[in-house]
Structure 1
Amino acid sequence: MAKEPSQNKEKEQLDSKYLNQINPKIPNNSNQTYSSEENDRRLESASQKTGVLPRSFINTLNKIKQEIDPKSGESEEQVLNKYRKSRLRTALSIKFILLLIIVPLLTHQLTKTFLLTPIINQYFHNHEEVVFINKDLEEEAFEELSHYEEILRFQGLIGLREPLTDEEVEEKVQEKAQEITEAYRGQGINSIGNVFADLFSVTAFAIVIVSSRKEIEVLKSFLDEILYGLSDPAKAFLIILFTDMFVGFHSPHGWEVILEGVAHHFGLPENQEFNFLFIATFPVILDTVLKYWIFRYLNRISPSAVATYKNMNE
């Protein structure tokens, strides 16, 4: 009979060791007790996790009840505040977008008209031998002058005008050469002015960006709300439109036009090898970045939009 207490004690130790192995978080002190408040909180959390209805359904019912309750003046105040904040955010975003567009354009025009063009004009006036800023413009001018001379002789041969002597043809060609010289010199002045004016515009744009951190955050939230608030077919349509335009089958022709326009804007000679290399690499990189964005972000935020995009793209 004296061995019974020791056997019971050993049994309690074994039971405690077994409980610790199953769940270390369960306290093994038999003397530890919980208060009634703690027990109520535990029961309440357990009932929330294992309720009959899902919590999202209950939250939706509570929201509807709050919206239709005439005594809930606080909810109406929240709706009005939300509307005011949305309207203010939209106004600030539109103003900031206009600022990002107007400031670089205004800087470009002012610096080019009042600062750069007079300086470049003075340089060309002091160096009259400088007419063409690259060989492509020179070849275009020679072709235009030769074409004009051939037109004069051709019109005289078919009777559209009186036949001209060689002296008269040479005199008219000389007048045309002066016109072409002034035109291509003005084109060179304009191209050089564009280079420096664009640098000033980029500087002004960077200053606006650096000094507008809060506006950028507001604009980002505004754009996110617009883009991610679109329907799934609208998202898929915009993605397909963007991809087909810039990385699709017909995109090389568009990139050629863009590169030619950039070269003409800055007065650079066209380089076919550079154009081919750019078209062969940049659209591929752009397509890879777009696919990564779809896989990493859009697939997580709107999987149905990705599924719609895949179905429309097939």
Structure 2
Amino acid sequence: MKYWNLKKINQSSLDKTGVIPRSISKLFEKFKKELDPNAEVEAIETFKVARYQTVTSVKYLVFLFIIPILINQVSKSFIFGPFINYLWNRDEHIIFLNQSQEERAFADLQRFEEKLHFEILIGKIDHPSSNLINYKMTEKALELAVDYANESSCAIKNILADLLSISIFVSITISSKRQFSILRSFVNELIYSLSDTAKAFLIILFTDMFVGFHSPHGWEVIIEIILRHLGLPESRDFIFVFISTFPVVLDTIFKYWIFRYLNKISPSAVATYHNMNE
């Protein structure tokens, strides 16, 4: 039994290396397929399978993203929106959710005051008085209070709607394992069927965008948008720690993928990537 397994392993390694060059063997295989009387039937069946895979993947991809987005918007407008607005309007003293909102509101009010004094100095405002300045400052403060109260209530709506959308997304993924498997094979085939130059171009584009030397500025903007969307404090320490760790982890995972998978499947693409990256 051991001898048969060893013979099988040796035979498989011989098939991988081969006595005849692989290009010549592939040429003979191509002629053999073209002369096969069942080649046309097999080609049609292959086309049907590829078409089914493509159509199923596109439908599933659209369904996977459109449904959670629609549920997010509908729940935010018709379920969580009225409920949060009712609770929020009961207590008009709640304006800010965190200190970052307060700092932004005070900075806006300070800029408005400086702009108001500038307009007075250049004579744009006729007959300025302390009552007029106090009236305009009060009007601006009330406007900022309404804006930031709406921002705070919208942040709570976003949290609830996003949690519901994520749960729907996970439920769809778990309940449709077959479609997910088809989509995964379709994406893998689509990526690995690209030319070596296209693969190298996409690798360089991805790495420069997310883990390159100029990516921290983009990550900083993204994190600030996410924190503001969820009503969380925009801590500079958290943002800097995230920027200094996450791109490094992402770069390590990406290099491991190149070494572990892409280097075995398409070593020429890896060589092209290194040549283009130099």
Q: Same fold (TM over 0.5)?
A: yes
Tell me, what secondary structure is at the counterpart of 2:92?
coil
CA distance in 2, matches of 1:303, 1:140: 52
Of 97, 115, 118, 1:133 maps to 97
CA distance in 2, matches of 1:58, 1:270: 61
Q: Work out whether residues 294 and 306 of structure 1, in 8 Å CA contact, stay in contact via their aligned partners in 2.
A: yes
Match of 2:28 in 1: 61
Of 171, 174, 178, 2:135 maps to 171
Q: Post-superposition shift, 1:301?
A: 0.7
- Residues 1:58 and 1:159: Cα distance change in structure 2 (over 3 Å): closer
* Matched pairs, number: 263
CA distance in 2, matches of 1:139, 1:262: 18
Match of 1:19 in 2: none
What TM-score comes out, normalization by structure 1 length?
0.78
Matched, 1:81 2:48: no
Match of 1:91 in 2: 55
CA distance in 2, matches of 1:63, 1:129: 77
1:52-84 CA distances to partner (integer Å, 9 max, x unpaired)?
A: x95975675364255256xx2x32111111111
Percent identity among equivalent residues?
Answer: 46
- Residues 1:207 and 1:144: Cα distance change in structure 2 (over 3 Å): same
Match of 2:108 in 1: 144
Task: Give the aligned residue type for 1:152.
Answer: L
Q: Post-superposition shift, 1:123?
A: 1.3
Q: Post-superposition shift, 1:205?
A: 0.3
Larger-gyration structure (1/2): 1
What TM-score comes out, normalization by structure 2 length?
0.88
CA distance in 2, matches of 1:310, 1:55: 26
1:90-149 CA distances to partner (integer Å, 9 max, x unpaired)?
A: 011111111121011111101111111111111111111101111121122222223323
Matched, 1:260 2:224: yes
Query: Which is worse superposed, 136-145 or 221-230?
Result: 136-145
Match of 1:192 in 2: 156
Q: Work out whether residues 157 and 163 of structure 1, in 8 Å CA contact, stay in contact via their aligned partners in 2.
A: no
Tell me, what secondary structure is at the counterpart of 2:94?
coil
CA distance in 1, matches of 2:201, 2:184: 22
Task: Give the aligned residue type for 1:85.
Answer: V
1 or 2 for the larger relative contact order (CA 8 Å, sep ≥6)? 2
CA distance in 1, matches of 2:67, 2:253: 30
**What's the Cα RMSD here?**
2.3
1:214-262 CA distances to partner (integer Å, 9 max, x unpaired)?
A: 1111111111111110111111111111111111111111111111111
1:175-220 CA distances to partner (integer Å, 9 max, x unpaired)?
A: 2222111111111111111111110010010011011111111111
Match of 1:14 in 2: none
Q: Post-superposition shift, 1:151?
A: 2.4
Q: Unpaired segments of 5 or more residues in structure 2? A: 4-10
